[in-house]
Structure 1
């Protein structure tokens, strides 16, 4: 766990806020980045991509809530301690939010709308670094200290959501500014957990722990992944893969326009089986849908520095990884509408000189992703009955398990 240092608490009547350095470890930041880049949908503001916990549950990714659980508890403890309101705080919203090129927001407080009056406190955890991963996107406060926050991965700023902390975020001019943002309330009617537990009980309890591939993601409606920008745009799932040098490929040997479910809407193909392609090489494995393929791709890039598989077989626990055949093929890429220049402007572009892609390592990543997902699914199915009986989401200690 990362060490935490804090600024001195403000005096009563000031602008209550605190900056906690190193609240999250680097590996935790990377794991949350993986979740967001593989599950995020179009956000609530222009040039924003978001991943909320209900969205994860609704798309068959309820198990990906597990990394959030200890973080939410630690943040709530920090809020209760700093603002001296023990056992009086509920989490209203938890979400991963990335602000892309052009995103900004003017002076406001976080409770400035009638439907936001329940918000009492805000916590913003920075998951990547200003200056390295993006430019712009500085959090500025109208009054009080610290007057501005230059984001550093792992840091968190906590402040009241009322007009004592009016703030803005300057325009992001390059890259992608990624945060984990939580809003807290003192009104239990706005507690996020009961609604989230209802989602999870409907989506996760329907499949048993031994059901094969129960962790395969299920995309939301296609329009939720459409990123609009100046009368142009792209599908986020496709763009995330494209900027890493890959593309989606027909699951059949050759592309045939007759497989289109709707001639005017080829994006519907992203909900069907497909393969991954890099240059002229097509990976043999068939993925259930684009979100399935995207998760594996993002997992590979998360774990790539640690992947050392260079042989044709590697043991992972009790399973053996056999590397699939790579086909050389042309002309079978899915015909998806995408402004490629815009996608690279928003999400960056792949630099082959900085990273050596290896299909063998990618095949190993497929198996590691399945192990990772299976383990989280087991943890979810173990924890869920305890969450449901208590009406809240919390870290279930081994001593509590029967």
Structure 2
């Protein structure tokens, strides 16, 4: 068993630790919920953010992965039953993002981090360019990100590392840090947040996402300013690069009031066609569209039972949609550059109709699992995987 006290460099690469499905599911969660990240050109999705935006059910896909990773880290570093998950987050790096040589404990407020795991969710070369991971010295000096691979290492100066600048696409990872200090246990904090959230009511309305404040979704090159006139709204930008236009149901809404637009009902359009289904807010629309992107291969063979309503887009709707785009995407070129890997998909309205229903079934299933788990988590003050075979 490895002993961190008598080895200079401790790290391990775990090829194909995550399945392709797990990677795609986490990608869906991130691309439909992420906010501006902790450094320029970075986007993040934390578990606490999912809970705060009425998407607590979306933490369920993380649970078995966190558990498996913690066990692997404890086994490799010889500290069984000693570790707590200190942080879990999805992080994507867009064009221009990089990080110089540093160690994870080089900031005083992060001294509680003892081990780290970086899970790669997409592929170098295919999904993004640049962004290779380097250790300053020792074995595994350079890691080329490959979907499903995980690298674990001691979060200290023995594993000083850097990440090359991303020059194209979007580099997507899940990052976890582990601590020996129970005071920094992420589980206890998340359980407290979940206990304050009404979960037992299964009304569909309670499972719809609620956007956070608008400044959390406003991206600009001036990372310190949310008022940058040359930025864009992340939600609108992701829909735009996938080929969708937004049409608000209430034509009296001011296109210049971005905070108001985040929570208003809307429809989606493409070209001259309007998909006549009302989404509760833009985060709801984005989740369904990203779910559609994730499940495209499954939807090709799905049977459509309901009547598909696609109507012509009126000139007034088109004009207002264009005005909205000019406000929400003040720098359209930047938005298209940052999310260049998305690529517009040909819209099959019939499949999107099915995706709406499948997305509903998906979130209800996760919600049911969460409701079953929460009493056990409360009792143990720990988040762990339960089998639902007999539930």
Query: Which residue, 328, 339, 351 being the options, matches 1:337?
Result: 328
- Other structure's SS at 2:268 match: strand
User: Does residue 1:378 correspond to 2:368, yes or no?
Assistant: yes
1:326 aligned onto 2:311: yes
Find the residue that maps to 1:76 and give its secondary structure: helix
Residues 389 and 371 (structure 1 numbering): CA distance in 2 closer, same or farther, change over 3 Å?
A: same
1:26 Cα deviation from its structure 2 partner: 0.6
Q: Which runs of 5+ in 2 are unaligned?
A: 223-227
TM-score, normalisation: structure 1: 0.89
Q: CA deviation at 1:266?
A: 3.4
Distance 2:275 2:300 in 1: 19
Q: Is the 8 A contact 1:15 1:144 kept in 2?
A: yes
Pick aligned residue for 1:265 from 239, 257, 262 = 257
| 1:20 match | 14
Pairwise CA distance, 1:400:
9.3
1:306, CA displacement in angstroms?
Answer: 1.7
C-alpha root-mean-square deviation of aligned residues, in Å? 2.0
Residues 268 and 349 of structure 1: CA distance in aligned 2, closer, same or farther (over 3 Å): farther
User: Would the aligned equivalents of 1:9 and 1:18 in 2 still touch at CA under 8 Å?
Assistant: no
CA distance in 2, matches of 1:172, 1:288: 35
1:131 matched to 2:125:
yes
1:274-318 superposed Cα distances (whole Å, 9 cap, x missing partner):
11111121111111110000000000011112212576x43xxxx
Q: Contact (CA 8 Å) 1:244, 1:349: kept in 2 or not?
A: no
Matches within 5 A, 1:285-300: 285-300=277-292
Query: Can you give the 5+ residue segments of structure 1 that lack an aligned partner in the other structure?
Result: 1-7, 315-320
Q: Deviations over 1:48-86 (max 9, x none)?
A: 000000000000000000000000000000000000000
Who is 2:237 aligned against? 239
Question: Residue 67 of structure 2 corresponds to which residue in structure 1?
Answer: 73
Contact 2:267 2:277 in 1 (8 A): yes
Contact 2:237 2:335 (C-alpha < 8 Å) held by counterparts: yes
Q: Following superposition, which runs of at least 4 residues in structure 1 exceed 4 angstroms of deviation?
A: 8-11, 349-352, 398-401
Q: Deviations over 1:317-340 (max 9, x none)?
A: xxxx33234333232316233111
Give runs of aligned pairs for residues 268-283 of structure 1, distance below 5 A: 268-283=260-275
1:335-375, Cα deviation, whole Å (9 max, x unpaired): 233111111100016655xx432100110000000000111
- SS of the aligned residue for 2:319 comes to coil
Write out aligned runs for 1:149-164 (5 A): 149-164=143-158
- CA offsets per residue over residues 215-249 of structure 1, 9 Å max, x none? 10000001000111155211100001000000211
Q: Partners of 1:177 and 1:219 in 2: how far apart?
A: 24
Q: Distance in 2 between matches of 1:399 and 1:273?
A: 37
